A and B are shown apart, each in its own frame.
Chain A
Amino acid sequence: MNKDLSRRGFLSEGLAGISAAWISAHWPVMLRAASHARQAATAAAPVKFEFFSPEQAREIDAIAARIIPTTDTPGAHEAGVVFFIDRALVTFAKEDQKTYAQGLPDLQARVREMFPGVEHFSAATPEQQDRILQSLDEQSPGASGRPSRRRVTTLSFFETARVHTIMGFLIDPDSDKRGNRDGAGWKVIGREPEHMFQPPFGYYDKDYPGWQPNPSDAEKTKS
C-alpha cells in the first residue's frame, strides 16, 4: 500500500466529500499539516541508528522478527521496527535504555547457555530463537485489560521489546516515530491506510436498508 494513499493523500488530494466551505475555512491549516507530513516522511528515511550499535540493531531486528514474524505477509523486519525502537530509546522511551543495555547481554548469555556454539541470538535458527524467547516470556507477568495507558517502565526486557515491537509495527506510519514502514503493519491487520472513509464500512452494514422504526412502536413514533 503505497504512501500516496495514506494520510498525506487525504491531506493533499483526497478532499472529495468535504464541503467547499470547510475547505476554504481550513485550507491554510491543511496546507501546513500536509507540508508537515511531507517533512516528517523525508525525515523518516533512516540513515543511521541513534541509540543502537549496528551489532545491537541486528540483534533487536532478529528479536522483533520473532515477536511478529514474516509469513506470507510482512513482519516486524519489513515494517522497520528496529528503527522505531532505536528512535524510541532516544525520545519518548529514554527510561528504557537501561532495560535494553542490560537485557541484550543477558539474552546473549542465555543463547550460549541454551545452545552452546551459537554466539548470538541472530545466529540461532528461528526455532532456537523462539525457544530462547519463550524462556524469557515465562518470567513475564501476563498482560490483561486495556493497557493503552499503561507505561512500560517496570517491564522485563522481553516484555519491553514485545510492547515496543507491537507499537513499532502498528503506529500511524505518518508519525515521526519511524515505525510501520510503508504501512506494512496496518496492511497485515486489515486497516486500510486512509484517514477518511465513507460508508458502507464492513460486511454487515453494506446492505442495511436504512433506519426503520422499531416495529412494535410504529404507532408511537408516528405521533
Chain B
Amino acid sequence: MTLDQPKYKTTDEVDFVIIGSGAAGGILAKELSGSGFRVVVLEQGPYLTEKDFVHDEIKVLNQDLLTNHPELQPTTFRKTPQDKAKPQRALVYGRLVGGTSTHFTANFWRFHEIDFIERSKVGPVSGSTLADWPITYADLEPYYTRVEWEIGVSGQAYASPFDPPRSKPYPMPPLPVKSSGVIFERAARKLGWHPFPAPMAILSEPRPGRSACVNCGFCLGFGCEVGAKSSSLATAIRMAERTGRCEIRPNSYVHRIELDAAGRATGAVYFDAERIVQRQKAKAVIVSANGAETPRLLLLSANKQFPDGLANSSGYVGKNLMLNSGGVTTAVFEEPLNDYKGFAVSRILHDFYELDPDKVGFHGGGGLDARFDMTPISFALGSLPPGSPRWGKSFKEVLSHNFTRTCEIFGHGTSLPVEDNSFSLDPELKDAWGLPALRLTYKDHPDDLKLAAWLYARSAELVAAAGAKRMWAPPVQEQQFAVHLLGTCRMGNDPKTSVINSDHQTHDVKNLFLCDGSSLVTSGRGQPTMTIEALAFRAADRITALAKRGDLPA
C-alpha cells in the first residue's frame, strides 16, 4: 500500500497465499517473498499506518480501532462441552495489518529448554494432554537470534542466570529503567531473587526508518506512532513490500480454503471490503490467522473428505487451547513513579521458571514483571484500590494521588493443555457475514489455578519488600477471556495427536501450512510472541526447502 506492491489477479496462481499479517504472517511474507516467491497476504483488518495511531482511548480501546469487533464478530463462552455457550466477549486480537503485534506489550521472552521437553522431564500430568515438541530449544535458537536482530529486540544478554544459551547478544541495549523497575529490582534482590532488564520488542536505538522509543506512554493497546514497537507492520511487512513480489491485501476476510479432487489446497476464498466473494488461487496456502481464527477457518472449510474440518483427521483442530495462567497485583507507593511515561515493562525475573512439582504441589512455572500499562481513563475506571470512592471530591483526591504512584506486578505462567479447552464454531450465533461465530470453551487445569495463587503470593512478598503503602489483588479466578491464543493446531510427529508436523505442514493436506500461536505445543511462561516469530522464521526455511526440493507444486 505504501510502497510499490504488485497487484496480482485472483486468477493468477501465486506461489503462496498467506492468511493473516501478524507476528507469523508478516515474517513468512518477508521471508518467502525475499526468497523469490510470489506472495499474496490476505488480512481481514484494515491497513493502518503510523499516522492513524492516535492516543484517543475511546477510539482505540472502546471503539476497537485496532482489534476484533464484538458487534461484527460476536462470540460465545462456556466452561465445559456439557454447557450451552452464552454470548459473551470471549477474546481480543489485533485486527489490522500487523495483527496483534501492532498493539501488544512487546514482552519478548525466549522460551527455555524446558518448554520443549516438559512432558519427558516431568512425566504425564493428570487431566492434561501435555506433550513434548518435535523440535528443541537448540533447533529454534538461531531463529530467536534472527528475530532479535532482524525485527528489533532490546535487552541485556547474560543478565539472568536462568536464561537459555544464546548465540549472540541483543542488537541494542535495554530500554531505560522505570521507577517500577527500580522498585522491583531492589525488592527482588532483598529476597534473594534475580531481577534483570526486560527484553522488549521496542527499539532503544533508532533503526533505518524507525525511531527509538519516545516514551509517549500510550503503549499496550495502542499502535506506535513512531515505529519503535517492533510490530510486523513496522518491520516484516515493509520488508516484504520492498521485495516487489508481495501484495498485502487488507479488508480480505478469508472464510474457506478449497481443495481440488486430489486433495490439494487451491487457494483461499474471502469476502472483500464490499463483502463480495473472491477466490485467490495459490500453489500453497499458509494460515497465520491466530490461535482462534486459524482453527475456525479449518472448521469452516469442512468438506466431503474432511467432514470434521480441514486437516482435522486428528480431531485436535481448535483443541488444547492454552491462555497462560497468572494475575495482577497492584501497589501504591509514597513518591511519584510517573510510570505512565514510557513502555510498560522494564524489569522481570525468571527465578520461578521451573518449579519442582514435588515441592510446590502442582505442575508449572512462571515469571514476574513490574509494569504500568494503564492509560488515564482506564486507570480512573479500573485501577483505584478496592472500596475507593467512585465520584466526588474524595474520588478526585485518590485519583490524583494514585495515578503517578501506582504500578503493577504481573505474574505470567504456564497453562497446561486440556483437550476440552478449545475454540470451535458456535452452532447458533453468526457473525456479520453470516458465518458461525467463535465459541470459547475453557476451564483452567487445577494446577494452573494453583500456579496463579503461588505467583500472587510471590508478588505479595515482593511488594511488601518494596515498602508499598498499599497493595491489592483479585482472587484467583477461572479464566473466561482469551488474549494469548495457543496450542489449537499443535505441532507433533504423530498425526493422531497433532495437526501439523515440524515443518508446519498439515499432516492431512501437503500444501497447507499453519504457523502462529496455534502451532505451540506448550504455553511457555506467558510471553508467546517471540516464539511465534522464531517459528515463523524457521517455518519459512522449511517451506522454502520443501518448495525447492519440488515437494510443492512448481
Contacts and interface: CB of A to CB of B under 8 A. Distances in A.
Interface of B: 49-51, 54-59, 61-63, 89, 92, 156, 158-159, 161, 174, 176-183, 189, 192, 194-197, 206, 208-212, 214-218, 221, 225-227, 333, 335-342, 375-378, 380-383, 386, 390-393, 395-396, 399-400, 403-404, 474
Given A69-B393, A220-B161, A198 B57 contact: no
A197 to B, nearest CB: 4
A203 B178 CA distance: 10
A129 to B, nearest CB: 10
Which of A10, A174, A186, A191 has the most chain B CB atoms inside 10 A of its CB?
A191
5 contacts: A19-B211, A68-B395, A148-B377, A198-B215, A202-B338
A43 interface: no
Nearest to B403: A189
A202 B55 contact: no
Nearest to B49: A29
Interface in A186-212: 186, 188-192, 195-199, 201-205, 208, 211
A151 B181 CA distance: 33
Contacts of B376: 170-171, 185-186, 189, 191
A73 interface: yes
A202 B335 contact: yes
Contacts of B55: 7, 172, 174-175, 195
Given A68-B396, A167-B377, A189-B403, 16 more contacts: A21-B208, A22-B210, A67-B395, A73-B400, A92-B58, A148-B62, A148-B381, A171-B376, A189-B400, A192-B341, A197-B214, A203-B335, A204-B333, A204-B337, A205-B182, A221-B161
A158 B351 CA distance: 47
Contacts of A211: 156, 159, 174, 177, 197
A105 interface: no
Contacts of A29: 49-51
Interface in A7-41: 7, 10, 17-19, 21-22, 25-26, 29, 32-33, 36
B240 to A, nearest CB: 18
Contacts of A199: 176-178, 215, 342
B391 A204 contact: no
Contacts of B340: 191
A21 B206 contact: yes
Nearest to B335: A203
B233 to A, nearest CB: 14
A71 interface: yes
A203 to B, nearest CB: 4
Contact of A201 (B92, B158, B178, B383): B178
B54 A175 contact: yes
Contacts of B183: 204
A201 B337 contact: yes
Given A25-B209, A66-B392, A149-B92, A201 B400 contact: no
Contact of A151 (B59, B62, B206, B226): B62
A149 B375 CA distance: 12
Contacts of B49: 29
Contacts of B208: 21, 25
Interface in A114-168: 130, 133, 137, 142-149, 151, 162-163, 165-167
Given A18-B214, A26-B211, A73-B400, A205 B179 contact: yes
A165 B377 CA distance: 10
B541 to A, nearest CB: 30
A33 B51 contact: yes
Contacts of A177: 56, 58
B51 A205 contact: no
Given A188-B396, A204-B333, A196 B339 contact: no
Contacts of A169: 380
Contacts of B390: 137, 142-143, 162
Contacts of B57: 148, 167, 170-172
Contacts of A149: 61-62, 89, 92
